[in-house]
Structure formats: structure tokens, C-alpha cells
Structure 1
């Protein structure tokens, strides 16, 4: 089984957009796919179909499986630790790591994605970030950035931080930011600074993740 951690250089950049497209492409190739988002905030129980877990579940071909995709769900659109606290809960990194390891061990799939919450350095618990979860799992990273002004600094900084913790970056995807500079122009600029890892383009509409699937399969 090939497993990857889907991380972002920031919040709301398109991690789920990229993950769903990759899962759908893999399914079209006849591969067995799975996805896990260990914790999600900003979840509306009255409209679960609008959530990231529901989008991932739909991409798996199991639209009703959103509760399995994200077992820890909180309503407030805040960092997971703060959203959990508002509901009288306390998130612990040891629990999140255990959830992910158990989930990975139980999968019978060709491709499995674990999606973080927020950016690489976004808090997950009161004393740990996404990066701490990434290091504990030691999965190759699929790093998602936006195309907005300033994304170069955010992406290159995230790369430095991730690599400093000895994590492999399998691919970089620049997801189109709405009302942002030209997507392809942004990617061309980034490629001048990052030559070790392929940088791919993910438009918001009509994107086929074939190139990404090929890069990860290599």
C-alpha cells in the first residue's frame, strides 16, 4: 500500500480538492483507495454533506462514510484544539497518532491518504502541530500550496521545515486560489526555486489528477 500525508502550506488552500481528485483518478484506474482526516473543525452536523470528510467519502465512492473518514469532528471553525475545548474535549497528539496508526494498519488498499488540518505548523493540540503528527507517522508528504501573492515564501518555508524533520516530499501541488495571480505564472516562478520535487498545477475546475497520480506512482 502506498500512503501519503496531505499537508498544506496554510489553511483552506485546497488540500481536500487535491486529495479528492487524486482518489477519483486512482479509482478510475481500478485501484482500491482510502482516506482519513483524523480531526476536522468547522463541521456542521446539520449539513455533513458540505464538509471535507463528506467530500473525501464521495471521492472514495462511499458518500455516507464521512463519519469513518473523520472520527473526531467539532463545530467551531477554529484550530482543532480550540474547537475541541469549546465542546469540553481535549485533543492529545498521542491519541491522534494512535488513531492514524490503527487506521493505516487496518487498511487493505492500494492508495491511502491521511489529510491534516490547516497548515504544516498549524496547532492540532495545545502543545503540538500538524508537523508533529507528520513526523510521528513518517509518511511521504503531498504538499499543497495556493497560487495567491506571497505563496512562494509560504511554500519554500514549509519545504524547509518539513525537510528539516527528515520527511520526504513526494510532490507539490499548487491549487488555484480564487482572485489570485495567474496560476501557471506562479508555478513557473516556484519551479525556479524548487527543483528537487515536481510541482504540479491544480485548477479549481475541471482538474484531472492523472499527472499527480503518475508522479506518486513512480
Structure 2
């Protein structure tokens, strides 16, 4: 299994949209796929319980089908930072708990798995831990979604510095155009390609309707060297 943690340069930069496109691209290349959203805030109350739109999108895009609770183990109603949403719900979530949930879901036979974070890289999970500790606990490399708008370069460089400082591998990044009128868009993307220490997996054009099938055609996963590997390679620390 090849498992990756997907994060973004900020919130609302299309992290889930890119994750769904990556899952579809993997399936197009003949790999089974699975997307997880271990913790989600801003969940809606339904007859089936709390549900998060990002987690539901990942479920629909995954070829390996799990229950909702296996995909989104911690669902929180308040639409804010996970540590605040958990506190409001009277819960305290830890990295060890989230890592355990993920390992259970990743025990399935699957070629390509994505674990989607929340917001950007530095998001508090509780009063002592940040969500960025989850990929380190799991031993998973990182894919960065860069939201292409004014300020994208600074956000991408700072996020990359933090990822590397945490001792994790950045194995690829995706440019997601969220501002169709961004000045010097191509020049900014070229700058990222020169400076970021990982390959660009693709550039997703402005797509207000968010068609993942079309978005997948703009991605190239060859740099990830996807090959079947034992799930035991995921750290059990």
C-alpha cells in the first residue's frame, strides 16, 4: 500500500477537491484507492448522525468502500479549528487516537490511500498537539495542495519549511487555481516548480463546478512510484 497525508497551504483552497481528483487518477491508472478524513469539523446533523461533506466526497471517490465511521472517525459539529470544535463537543482528541483509527482503516487491501488533514499544516488538535503530528505518527509522506491566489508563494514555502522541519517527506504538490484572475499565474507556478523540493503532480485549472473526472486528467502520479507494498510498512508506533 502507498499511503499519503494530504494537506494544504490554507483552509478553503480545494484540498478535498484535489484529493478526490487524485483518487480518481489512481483508479484511472488501475490502482484501488481509499480516502480518509479522520477528523472533521463543521459536520451536519442527519438521520444517520453527524456527516461531513468532505468525508462523503472521499467515500464516493474511493474504490474501496468503508463505513462512514471508518472514513471519518471523529465528526464534530462546530465549523472551527478541531481543538475548539472538540472542546465545544466536550471531547479531547489525541494524535494516538487518530493514528489508531487510521491504522484500522488502512488495514484494508488498497494500492493508494490518502489521509486528508484539516485546514493547513499547523492546526491545533488539543492543548498540546497539532494535527501535523499525525503523518509523523503514521510514517506517511506528504502531498501539498497549493491554492493559487495572491500570497500562494509565501504560503507554499512556509508550509514546505514546516513539513520538512517536522522530519517528513514532501513527495509532491498540486497547484489548484482558486483565483482565475490571479496576476502572472503561470509565472507563479513556474516559481513554485523551481523552488519547491518535490515534483508538481499537476495544475488543476479554475473549475467552479469541481468536476473531479476532468481534474484527474490534469494529474500525473508517476512521480509517486505507486507500487503495491505491505500495509505493515505503515508505522505502528
Q: What's the TM-score once normalised by structure 2's chain length?
A: 0.82
1:116-131 matched pairs, under 5 angstroms: 116-131=117-132
**8 Å CA contact retained: 1:34, 1:107:** no
Shift in alpha-carbon separation, 1:169–1:209, aligned structure 2, 3 A: farther
Aligned pair count? 216
Shift in alpha-carbon separation, 1:209–1:156, aligned structure 2, 3 A: farther
Shift in alpha-carbon separation, 1:177–1:198, aligned structure 2, 3 A: same
Structure 1 residue 209 displacement after superposition: 4.7
Q: CA deviation digits over 1:167-194, x for unaligned, max 9?
A: 1111011111135515433212322322
**8 Å CA contact retained: 2:40, 2:52:** no
Q: Which moved more, 1:40-49 or 1:125-134?
A: 40-49
Q: Give the superposed CA RMSD.
A: 2.3
**8 Å CA contact retained: 2:180, 2:206:** no
Q: Which residue of 2 aligns with 1:18?
A: 18
Structure 1 residue 61 displacement after superposition: 4.7
Q: Which residue of 2 aligns with 1:96?
A: 98
Distance in 1, Cα, partners of 2:175 & 2:91: 34
Structure 1 residue 85 displacement after superposition: 1.6
Q: CA deviation digits over 1:2-52, x for unaligned, max 9?
A: 111111121121111111011112222332111111100011133978700
- SS at 1:23 equivalent: helix
Q: Which moved more, 1:204-213 or 1:52-61?
A: 204-213
Distance in 1, Cα, partners of 2:164 & 2:9: 13
Distance in 2, Cα, partners of 1:201 & 1:41: 28
Q: Which residue of 2 aligns with 1:212?
A: 220
- SS at 2:144 equivalent: strand
Unaligned runs of 5+ in 2: 208-213, 227-237
Q: What's the TM-score once normalised by structure 1's chain length?
A: 0.89
* 1:135 paired to 2:143: no
Structure 1 residue 156 displacement after superposition: 0.5
Q: Which residue of 2 aligns with 1:30?
A: 30
- SS at 1:119 equivalent: coil
Distance in 2, Cα, partners of 1:86 & 1:12: 22
Unaligned runs of 5+ in 1: none
Shift in alpha-carbon separation, 1:19–1:176, aligned structure 2, 3 A: same
1:19-168 matched pairs, under 5 angstroms: 19-46=19-46, 51-61=53-63, 65-104=67-106, 106-168=107-169
